[in-house]
Chains A and B, each alone.
Chain A
């Protein structure tokens, strides 16, 4: 089975609220993780990454948290906007060239 998974397939959030998207991974040897955003009709777009020697990393309106103890990854989006509506994937780097993706969470922003 897949080694990376998301807790919820869908998330509905009110515009302006914060969003939290969760992901669990099973390979404790993975040391690099990425969040991607995929809008309809487009390829996945890199959002933010984190290496296993970090617990938290912040970008513009996004924060990724890594909990290696429970093998959990989350993506927080501050002040969610309509343009944030998309499918979000977490991915873990299993070896030098292999990214394993979760099934994705569809985020819908309500106006």
Chain B
């Protein structure tokens, strides 16, 4: 149990679908992150929220829309995705920014 829970673990969606990824952290941290992990590429930071405010948006296409309703929950809303968006999407949390991030198990997303 990592303290960061992601659902669903696997998701297959069509390019016209709308879906959401959910992340919940039970560590009392004040920062949450979305990362994208593609095969043979380094982890790519997508979004960062600190105290429920977005502090980093790493030039992510608008078809990915994050939401952070409170410090324990983070969502990634998906719509009109492309096949190249297929990847493992990882959520993480940390206490402040200058500290190690704790990762969830990830959601394996396949866009068909």
Contacts and interface: CB of A to CB of B under 8 A. Distances in A.
Interface of A: 2, 4, 32, 34, 36, 41-46, 49, 89, 91, 93, 95-104
Contact of B98 (A4, A43, A93): A93
Contact of A43 (B42, B100, B103): B103
Given A43-B2, A43-B104, A45-B103, A89 B56 contact: no
B93 to A, nearest CB: 11
Interface residues of B, number: 26
B43 A97 contact: no
A45 B2 contact: yes
Nearest to A102: B42
B42 A103 contact: yes
B15 interface: no
A42 B2 CA distance: 10
B106 A97 contact: no
17 contacts: A42-B106, A45-B2, A45-B103, A46-B101, A49-B100, A91-B43, A93-B98, A96-B97, A96-B98, A97-B48, A97-B55, A98-B45, A101-B43, A102-B42, A103-B40, A103-B41, A104-B42
Contact of B105 (A43, A46, A89, A98): A43
A98 B48 contact: yes
Given A97-B48, A98-B45, A46 B102 contact: yes
